[in-house]
Structure 1
């Protein structure tokens, strides 16, 4: 699952409309992330930075750090 790291927030956008609509659910937290691929162990409730997706029994998150994200900018403005 891709997650975004942008302006100090870690978040994921989930589109709620089909056919290219403009309604999204934003799940977010204020945090710092180091890494591009994170391996999450559901049983231990821990994660670590890895270089590759290797195991079928783990959940992986790909961290995307865009230079600009207009949808996120608008959502972050509305948080304050």
Structure 2
């Protein structure tokens, strides 16, 4: 189990912000529509963020992190490595 968690963490840390947004949205069991509604934006805009077609502005980054219930650094920065 420890090996699995380490591999999962490494995969997450090496992914792009758009892949992190998609993973966290699915982990929180939200549809694109639900996430977009909570973020007060359109489904198209959220989809563009998830697919890397658009980069969220600074103020939107805080809102996205809040909707996904994580810190902004986890999505857009370099997350810390945790020992399991």
* Structure having the larger proportion of residues in helix: 2
TM range (shorter): under 0.3
TM-score (normalised: structure 2)? 0.22
Please tell me whether Structure 1 or Structure 2 has the larger radius of gyration of its CA atoms: 1
* Structure having the larger proportion of residues in strand: 1
